């Protein structure tokens, strides 16, 4: 099997109301991306989109998606993301406004995962400041502890061994 270098775009889908995140599914994301790439980069963009772009992971609770694409084409795909304004499905615009915030570009899924863990921790810290009640604070603290330093450390060690294993 031929192996290709990949890039993983870690994006956050931002919507005005959090509960509309529930509407997200991988197919909707894929279609939205495809339409955006086609608009921005035409048939050439669509052709490159058709090879090697897929949605690897979607967290409908936090709105985080992993998009995998060929290393050679990731700039083209990435540059189409800012033009997304709505979710689309099979060419039809759904009534969900959104934008894609690309927070990390990585060479392996591991590095992206590591980044995501850190990023989520940061978000928790920020939430901690916004908490109004003690119960909420407690809740967030527990969440922070669950993604403890130990866990992340172990992941880091794994990561260095297996870094860039996607190279041919």
Partner 1 sequence: MSVFMDLNIVNSHDKNKLTSIIETAAHLGYSTVAINYVIEPQKKKQEIPKPHSVSDIFEKFPMVQGKSTPIKVLNRLTIVASDASHFRPTNDYKLFDLVAVYPKTEKLFHAACMTFDVDIICIAVGERQPFHFKRAPVNGAIDRGVFFDISYTAAIRDSSMRRYTIANATCLMEVCKGKNIIISSGAEKSLEMRGPYDIANLGLVFGLSEGDAKAAVSTNCRSVLLHGETRATASGVVYTMKKPHTLEEQIEDKPASKKAKTETA
Partner 2 sequence: MEEPTTFERHVYKNASVYHYMKISLDLENGKRSFSDAQFKQLIISALKELYGEVGAAFPFDLLKFDPSSLKAILRVYNKGLVKLWSALTLLGSYQNEACAFRVIQVSPFLLALSGNSRELQFGESLTS
Partner 3 sequence: MSPELEKCPRSLLVCEKSNFMNEKSRHDIHVSKHSFNYKISVLIPECAVLPANISGVISNFSPYYLVRDLPVYELLQEKSYETVLQKGTVYAVSYNTKIDEDNSIALLPSVVTLNLRDKTLAPGTKRYQRVLSGLKDRLPLRYDFLFTEHNTGGDEDNSLYNLLSQYKPIEHKAVLSHHTLKNLPCPTLYPSDLQGTTLSCDPHSFLEWLGAVNLDISCENAADSFLSTYICPEPKSSVSQALLCTITGFISPEDVYLLLQELRYDLKHCCRFPERCFLTMTKLYISHKLFFNCTSCAHRKYFDEPKFTPWLSLTVHGFMDSPVSWGATEHGFLKGGENFYNLVCFKNQDYWLHMATGAHDGCPP
Torsion sign, CA atoms 39, 44, 46, 49: negative
What is the distance between the alpha carbons of residues 39 and 79, in angstroms, rounded to a whole number?
Answer: 11
Binding to partner 2 (CB under 8 A) within 58-117 occurs at 79, 83
Binding to partner 3 (CB under 8 A) within 60-99 occurs at 73, 75-76, 79
Choose among partner 2, partner 3, partner 1, none what residue 51 binds, the Cβ cut-off being 5 to 8 Å by kind: partner 1
| Half-sphere exposure (Cβ direction) of 56: Cα atoms closer than 13 Å | 17
In angstroms, give the least distance from the CB of 32 to partner 1.
18
- Residue closer to partner 3 (CB basis): 75 or 126: 75
In angstroms, give the least distance from the CB of 141 to partner 3.
45
Q: What is the DSSP letter of 24?
A: -
The token pair at 94 is 């759904």
Binding to partner 2 (CB under 8 A) within 33-62 occurs at 37-45
The token pair at 116 is 């995501």
- Residue closer to partner 1 (CB basis): 5 or 56: 5
């Amino acid at each position: 099997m031929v192996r290709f270098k990949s890039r993983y775009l870690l994006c956050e889908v931002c919507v005005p109301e959090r509960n509309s995140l529930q509407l997200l599914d991988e197919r909707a994301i894929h279609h939205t991306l495809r339409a955006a790439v086609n608009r921005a980069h035409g048939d050439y963009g669509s052709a490159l989109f058709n090879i090697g772009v897929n949605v690897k992971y979607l967290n409908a609770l936090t709105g985080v998606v992993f998009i995998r694409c060929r290393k050679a084409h990731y700039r083209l795909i990435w540059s189409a993301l800012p033009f997304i304004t709505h979710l689309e499905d099979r060419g039809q615009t759904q009534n969900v406004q959104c934008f894609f915030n690309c927070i990390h570009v990585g060479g392996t899924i591991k590095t992206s995962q590591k980044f995501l863990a850190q990023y989520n921790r940061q978000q928790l810290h920020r939430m901690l400041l916004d908490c109004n009640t003690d119960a909420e604070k407690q809740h967030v603290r527990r969440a922070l502890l669950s993604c403890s330093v130990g866990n992340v450390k172990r992941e880091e060690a794994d990561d260095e061994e297996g870094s860039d294993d996607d190279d041919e």
